[in-house]
Structure 1
Amino acid sequence: MIERFYLKEYLSFKEVELNLACGLVVFTGPSGSGKSILMNSLLASLGASSCEASLCESSVTWELDSESIGIENDDINVFKHIKKDKSRYFINNQTVSKKAMAELGSRYLRHLSLKDFSDFENENLISILDERIQNKSKDIHAITSEYKAIFAEHKRLKQELDKIEEEEKRIVELKEFASFEIKKIEDISPLPAEDEELLEIKKELSRKEKVLEHIGAANAIFEHEHKVFAALDTLDVNSAFFDDAMNELRVVLDAAQERLSALDDVDIEEVLNRIEELSGLKRRYGSIEEALLYKEQKKKELAEYENIEITKSDLQERYKVVATKLKDLAATLTELRHVEIDSFKIDLNRYLKELYLREAEVKIEESDYTLSGKDTISLRLNSTELQKISTGEFNRLRLSILALKSEYMSKNGGVLMLDEIDANLSGEESMSVAKVLRQLSRHFQIFVISHQPQLTSMGDQHFLVYKEGDESFVRELEFNDKVDEVARIISGDKVSKEAKIFAKELLEANRCVS
């Protein structure tokens, strides 16, 4: 519920703070006092509308999904809209977009002045029907849970079969392509790091003659080696260091000469051709290693193509079993729903009659498989499509659906906001709307602007919106003030004694309405 609302500097309002109760919260006041402005600012504080207030803020008890929105949940969560140079939106002092705030608020808040068809969507109507069946000792929830799991499996298998059938149309082409790609790489038959080794051989070959020439010249040093030994001996210097150095030099020069001699049989043209082949692979695949991985991938794909008939056969068998199970579960759901639909229709029309509306036509029609079965609930108001009924009828029909749903609700349904739902109704019609709203208020916190004494008298909390000069104010009314306000609604600005008596009787009578 919304526990507190604060508004600052919006049109005729300078500052408003409301501590709100659960149940049915009624706003009344003379025309032009600012009731709709106040309601719009409350919606704007939750991202459901726009306004130019410098600040509008709502404190709510809704439990936020911290993971999905990235905002830590508190016992009381504060939604805030600030307008300076531009509008900014906050939840628990963390900046959010208006869209994010509106999406979050829409999970708990519903504005019934809008022609929103979500209450009449098949999923919602089916859920109401199933809840009625569940509460009559039929364990339909277990059946629907099993059905949904089978439906998901059926959908997955169908997608896999469709994919295989699509692949079958191209299977010859795909097999030829995979074989061609494999052969192209196997014809070259590259080895890991082979290109690096060949480049090193190419480098060695390009400088072989020059290196051998320098080695030959360097070998002349050994012809004078004995002279160095003689000189060191004359100087009484230990010649071991020179001996080690000369031996190490021999090893280096011999190894180089042996390595270059091994290249005598290497054909430079073959090396260059091989390097070019490997370069082609690298240009296409990035590296030799990636080319080898690609070859293995294509071998795997080729094996899958060759086994596709076996895979398809297995899937078809599984699909057949699942389809049979899905059909049986859907038939069970349909049977249970057909048994309950007449009772659903009777109770709905009872609410419609109370709201002075024509009877509704309700029937179950067969549809394609959906997540809720093969049933579609068709709903018309006296043969008229819902898109063609008046806004007043539409909203009262929505109230009837909500009332029907609330009969089996086990938790709080959130917040409903209704702007002048009793406008242009007779006294009897207004009282019928008030009674339905009073029933709904057991499960919803309801904000309503009222112009009729019947609905006003039903409120669990009553706020008067009024003006003094050009400034609007809001105050909560106690019983005696409620009597005066209801009497004003009955008789106008000149309140008669009879109106006050009737207002008091109406309020006292409605204290007993549960």
Structure 2
Amino acid sequence: MLTNLSIKNYALIDDIDVQFSDGFTTITGETGAGKSILLGGLSLVLGNRADLSSLKDQTQKCIIEAEFDISKYGLQALFEENDVDYEDQTLLRREILPGGKSRAFVNDTPITLDVMKTLGSRLVDVHSQHQTLQLTENEFQLKVVDALAENSERLKSYQSQLDRFQKASKELQGLIDFQSNADKDHDYHSFLLQELETVALQPGIQEVLEVEYEQLNNVEHILEQLAKGHQLLQHEEMGVLGQLSDLKRSLQQLADFGPAYTALNERIQSVFIEMDDIAAELEQLQDTVEANPTRLETVNGQLQKLYDLQKKHQVASVEALMEIKQQLSEKVDVVANIEAKIEEKRTEVNRIKDELEAIAADIRKARNGVIPELKRRLESSLVQLGMPSATFMIEVEPSKTFKHNGKDDLIFLFSANKGSSFGELKKVASGGELSRIMLTIKSILATYEQLPTMMFDEIDTGVSGEISNRMGEIMQEMSKNMQVFSITHLPQVASKGQHQFKVFKEEDELGTSTRMKKLNEDERIKELAEMLGGKVLSESALAHAKQLLG
């Protein structure tokens, strides 16, 4: 519940700081005194948008603080979800700076305006003329039916299943769209893949083929140089090996004359062995190297295919071609298997849909179960509010489509007078009738769910004294389960409050300011008497005021 409200530098308000209690509180004051300003200030701390014109003094910031006791609201999860520290005594603060920017805080933690609005909607339900118009909207009417039907958990289950259904349906459509587009490219992708499959694509294959091509293409030159090398080594008179053999024998004769000669001998021995081995290998290579025009043509063809494919796909390596081949293979496989995937996803969608239909049917059954009781309570309450012939036609019909709150259309028709035809509320109900219907609905809801603090803004406008007396009693009854405020011009309603505040203006040399004070018993009698008979207090008005206060 709202326990304290502080408003500084807002509209006509310099500084207001008031404490509130539970139960039923009424707020009165002359027209133009600033009751709407007070509500406007509260709405800012509940997340409504503001502008620079809200500041009374344009050079100073506006600060609005509202403290709530939220220990019974079960809001810990909401606080945790928005990374805000939870406290049973929670403070909401809104600051509007002279430059026009605003800041929002919960328990001194900076938050976004959206978070403040979400939290504010769970703390205070401000009933204004705009909200009365919500009564004519089908979604609000269904919320009322669902509250009586205790459909909260069913709707959570339904919405979770609806998310799954929508996600699966989107995935199915995505597969169908993919198939439609992929079919156009399938033949081309298959052709490209087959073209790549005709070539043995392996890491390093291009380098191997290029080496082999160079060897085959230069066979005569290679043989010529091998023969020349072999002759240089093995020539009988001038061969390197013969000369090395003479050198080896000379150094062997010096090996015993010291370490330096021994080392030279060993080195020439190694050189001779190496050169002899080279001569043998040159001879062997001459035997193995031979011209092979057929193989040369084959290798050249393979290389040209690789070069052509690289040019076609605009890449520079076999590895890149292999990656393209893998991608094409996946695309071709996907198209080849798409029908099976579509059928699998369609089966999943149908299964989720059947489960969703079952939950929607449970919701519809619960709704239908409470409609007779809702109709009875609405009509009986409206009799006491001066609408003895008011009747409702409320029916639930299955919808063709899944909606966020079920699969139903709600027919919610109203007739104010006996013999009159039924019609939609927005077409056949007057403003005063809508206010009374809304108050009745709020009072019914108060017995079914934990409503936040309720703020009625002149819901009694346009009703007679006796009817307003009954409206006050309804709000008084509601206040047994919740904190209720009523901004009112009617003494009959004002007198029903356990607490009464007066909003008034004060003028001084600096200008006009709106003030607010809690009235004691004598002040309440005077205020009610003025509401009954004007500023000149008559004995009858005072007596009537006392009578209203009991």
- 2:419 is aligned to none
> Could you tell me which of 432, 444, 459 is aligned with 1:404?
444
> Could you tell me which of 334, 337, 359 is aligned with 1:303?
337
Q: Is contact 2:382-2:437 (8 Å) kept?
A: yes
Max radius of gyration: which structure? 2
- 2:105 is aligned to 91
Alpha-carbon offset, residue 311 of structure 1:
4.7
Q: Does 1:81 align with 2:94?
A: yes
In structure 1, runs of 5+ residues without a counterpart are 135-139, 509-514
Q: Is contact 1:77-1:91 (8 Å) kept?
A: no
Segment of structure 1 superposing worse, 23-32 or 452-461: 23-32
1:182-226 per-position Cα deviation (integer Å, ceiling 9, x unaligned): 3421331288974654257548978998x989x999999987988
Alpha-carbon offset, residue 21 of structure 1:
1.9
Segment of structure 1 superposing worse, 220-229 or 489-498: 220-229
Alpha-carbon offset, residue 7 of structure 1:
0.8
- 1:491 is aligned to 533
Partners of 1:247 and 1:78 in 2: CA distance: 97
Partners of 2:452 and 2:359 in 1: CA distance: 33
1:254-290 per-position Cα deviation (integer Å, ceiling 9, x unaligned): 99x99xx899855345314313314534669976325
Q: Does 1:359 align with 2:354?
A: no
Alpha-carbon offset, residue 478 of structure 1:
2.7
- 2:43 is aligned to 43
Partners of 1:66 and 1:218 in 2: CA distance: 90
SS of 1:101's partner is: helix
Segment of structure 1 superposing worse, 330-339 or 77-86: 330-339
Number of aligned positions between the proteins? 489
In structure 2, runs of 5+ residues without a counterpart are 56-60, 234-239, 417-421
SS of 2:31's partner is: coil
Amino acid aligned to 2:448: Y
> Could you tell me which of 438, 444, 461 is aligned with 1:423?
461
SS of 1:21's partner is: coil
TM normalised by structure 1 equals 0.75
Alpha-carbon offset, residue 55 of structure 1:
1.1
Partners of 1:248 and 1:359 in 2: CA distance: 120
1:377-408 per-position Cα deviation (integer Å, ceiling 9, x unaligned): 42334334222344333232222222222232
Segment of structure 1 superposing worse, 122-131 or 95-104: 122-131
Residues 16-415 of structure 1 mapped to structure 2, 5 A cutoff: 16-50=16-50, 51-52=54-55, 54-60=62-68, 61=70, 63=75, 65-84=78-97, 85-92=99-106, 93-116=108-131, 118-119=134-135, 121-122=137-138, 124-126=140-142, 128-129=144-145, 132=148, 177-178=185-186, 180-189=188-197, 194=202, 197-198=205-206, 202=210, 235-236=260-261, 238=263, 265=295, 267-268=299-300, 270-281=302-313, 288-305=322-339, 307=340, 311=344, 315=347, 319=350, 337-338=367-368, 340-357=370-387, 359-368=390-399, 370=402, 371-374=405-408, 376-382=410-416, 383-388=422-427, 389-409=429-449, 412-415=450-453
1:219-250 per-position Cα deviation (integer Å, ceiling 9, x unaligned): 99987988998899794474678988999999
Q: Is contact 1:115-1:391 (8 Å) kept?
A: no
Q: Does 1:450 align with 2:450?
A: no
Partners of 1:457 and 1:225 in 2: CA distance: 133
Partners of 1:414 and 1:246 in 2: CA distance: 106
Partners of 1:501 and 1:99 in 2: CA distance: 50
TM normalised by structure 2 equals 0.71
Partners of 1:88 and 1:423 in 2: CA distance: 34
Amino acid aligned to 2:535: D
SS of 1:36's partner is: helix
SS of 2:516's partner is: strand
> Could you tell me which of 447, 455, 478 is aligned with 2:520?
478
Partners of 2:263 and 2:406 in 1: CA distance: 100
